[in-house]
Amino acid sequence: MLKGGQSAWNDNVEIRTLLCQSLISWIQRIIDKEMLSTSCIDEYEEEIDQWVKLNQFFKNTQVINE
């Protein structure tokens, strides 16, 4: 009887461990996705800034030529 109870307890511990590991993995994926999103946004912002500067340069050049 004790052995059966011990086995069930071990199964419960294993299930809890797997659930915790799954939860940790899920949280890590969310964090990684957020980091990736932030990284992509930063890259796009830099690219947009470059285009804005280039656009301003061409506008200024056009005004000078007129």
Q: What is the pLDDT of residue 1?
A: 44
Helices (H), 1-66: 2-65
Mean pLDDT, residues 4-9 taken together? 69
Q: Cα separation of 2 and 4, whole Å?
A: 5
Q: What is the pLDDT of residues 19-59, one digit of tens each?
A: 888 888 888 888 888 777 777 777 778 888 888 888 888 77
Q: pTM (2 decimals)?
A: 0.48
User: What residues does each domain of the chain span?
Assistant: 3-64
With 60 as the cut, is the pLDDT of residue 2 above it?
no
